[in-house]
Amino acid sequence: MRKLLLTIPLLLAAPAPANASIYANLMTREVIGKKDGSPVVKVTDGITTRTTTNQKAKFPVGTSDLKKGQELKVPMNDAGYEYYLEIFEQLIKEIPRHDPTFADIGNSSECAPRFSDQIREQCKEILATRTCKSLDKQDLSIKNYPIDEERRVTTWLNRLFDNQYCFPTKLLIGCRAGRCWGVSSSGEYGFYPGKINVISIDGRKWSFIDYLSRQQELEIWQSIKDGSRYAYQLVHWPYESQVTGSQILSVPKGLKDKVYRMSLVKP
């Protein structure tokens, strides 16, 4: 990227109209440089915004004396306008060429610098869904019991949040030597003694004090499927206040069978 045409410095009190190190507005003929160490460059014609990256954009010309996070706004001269217009038109042409499955992208964090607007959101949604639905990306924990010749395999189920992020839920599934269960998070110190806790899967409820029974754990395991709604009302020690919530479970195809079969392997 050529030297940025930031010739009349003006420190901004308000944030830039876009989260980028360089934001060029072709309609207002203004350029905003932000000292944040990010290589993101956004160019807009006032209606459509396109995004690209350039390592030189990490520290826009004219921002060296600014504090981190501060911004600089200057008019865009004719040469600057032609420069950013060329970038904008090139990005407009490149957008239709993206792989609609985003197979070449491994993490949703790569979406923002490579795409803009609607395509960036599609990228995040597809990658987050891919992660939540992928059997290979499921984090499995294995513990062996050599004396008993048994193996325990557990994993926290995931959920798709805001269609853009794959986060762990508060529901754990596992098997030990083929004996399987589903249990709710007991917090850092367990459940509060004597208090009633309630969890549900797709409307079916289980109430318990201190801990779930073996039968309840098995029933929860059997009830869990992809897309199930998991809800909970729990009281953790040492806090008597009730913790509540609900989450939509994302269960990769074959996950429960994999956990079960792995638990059958003798250490």
Average pLDDT, the chain: 84
pLDDT digits (tens, 9 = 90+) for 168-208: 999 999 999 999 999 999 888 899 999 999 999 999 999 99
Q: Which residues pair with 34 in a beta bridge?
A: 71
Name the amino acid, one letter, at 112. Answer: A
List of residues 6+ apart from 2 with CB closer than 8 A: 83
Name the amino acid, one letter, at 140. Answer: L
What is the predicted pLDDT for the residue at 178?
Answer: 96
What is the predicted pLDDT for the residue at 3?
Answer: 44
pLDDT digits (tens, 9 = 90+) for 210-260: 999 999 999 999 999 999 999 999 999 988 888 999 999 999 999 999 999
pTM given for the model: 0.59
